[in-house]
Amino acid sequence: MITATCYETGKNWRFERFRMGDYLFGYTYDTDLPVSDAMAASAGFPGGIGPLVIETSKHAWFKYTDQAEAQTLMMDPDKQLKRVTEPVQPAFSQAHLWDGGVYDNQGLEGLHKFVSGWRKDIDFLVVSDASGPPKTEKYARGVKALLRMATGIMKEQIRALRARAVIERLVNHPEDKGIYLQTGNTCQYVLSNAGMHDDIPVLCPGCLDDQEARLAAEMPTVIRRLTDSEYERLFRHGFEVADYTLYAYYPDDFAYIGYQNLPLA
């Protein structure tokens, strides 16, 4: 599932292997789009990159008319295809699809419900949050101020609310198993929060220090080739966060590996 944000409806547009659309615009089973188009839409930062445009006349659209519970059917295409539908004509001749992060930066809506937790058939949910820490900024007038409100503060709050909801399930509902991987979390921070203080002097010296982890977390989104040191830092930090976080909270299932032990070419 690859998510984007539909400009016309303001909802979470989902590309799946058997359908695409959102519940206001409608859905279509005509999904003969390249995966690269879905990725481009999902990553299209508003204002900086234009939207992916879907011509609605090239697809047959429908809406569901049954009352099937999405909790039980979301992850099962065979059952979804048997649901009762009716054809609809979209209200717009085009759908303009932009960055999925505007609506749901981690793509969690299709996997997690605020009230009941993980959707059916999810055994272990891995959430990877590489958004980095929120930043302070000196006041600026005009368009820059509006962009900070819309794509900065508001987007960060949406991300934070979804993150807190997932973490609440992990803490208070052990039947929902999973992990929340956050860029910028150091080995000492994760092990301390998990109560594994005896492992800190053993594992932490082999991981990136606070300064290197902060540099990885604060790496801006750029449209250029990364330097060797930038790539190495991001790659290593991503691996280490997953490595010591999985070990800290599920030591019986995930042994600590250590970046220095990877068989890298």
Residue 105 lies in a domain: no
Question: Cα separation of 89 and 56, whole Å?
Answer: 9
| Final residue belonging to a domain, choices 99, 126, 154 | 99
Q: What is the pTM of this model?
A: 0.82
Residue 263 lies in a domain: yes
Band of pLDDT at residue 131, cut at 50, 70 and 90: confident
pLDDT of 223-233, one tens digit each? 889 999 999 99
Closest CA to 4 of 44, 48, 31, 32: 44
Band of pLDDT at residue 222, cut at 50, 70 and 90: confident
pLDDT of 53-72, one tens digit each? 999 999 999 999 887 655 45
Instruction: Kindly state the helix (H) or strand (E) to which residue 215 belongs, with its residue range.
Output: helix 210-217
Q: What is the pLDDT, as a whole number, of residue 70?
A: 52
SS3 label, residue 45: coil
Range of the domain at 139: 111-182
Within this chain, do residues 60 and 141 fall inside the same structural domain, yes or no?
no
pLDDT of 67-86, one tens digit each? 765 545 565 778 788 889 99
Within this chain, do residues 67 and 131 fall inside the same structural domain, yes or no?
no
Better pLDDT: 134 or 171: 171
Q: What is the pLDDT, as a whole number, of residue 132?
A: 75
Residue 192 burial by Cβ neighbours in a 10 Å radius (0-12, 13-18, 19+)? middle
pLDDT of 141-194, one tens digit each? 888 887 777 767 777 787 888 889 999 999 999 999 999 999 999 999 999 999
Within this chain, do residues 123 and 163 fall inside the same structural domain, yes or no?
yes
Q: What is the pLDDT, as a whole number, of residue 74?
A: 60
Domain count, the chain: 3
| Final residue belonging to a domain, choices 126, 148, 182 | 182
Which amino acid is present at 142? G
Question: Cα separation of 107 and 148, whole Å?
Answer: 22
For range 126-146, the mean pLDDT: 83
Within this chain, do residues 92 and 23 fall inside the same structural domain, yes or no?
yes
**Cα angle: 26, vertex 59, 48; to 5 degrees:** 75
Residues 6+ apart with CB under 8 A from 80: 18, 19, 73, 74
Tokens representing 32?
């003969």
| Final residue belonging to a domain, choices 130, 156, 182 | 182
Q: What is the pLDDT, as a whole number, of residue 75?
A: 59
Mean pLDDT for the chain overall: 88
Per-residue pLDDT for 24 more than 70? yes
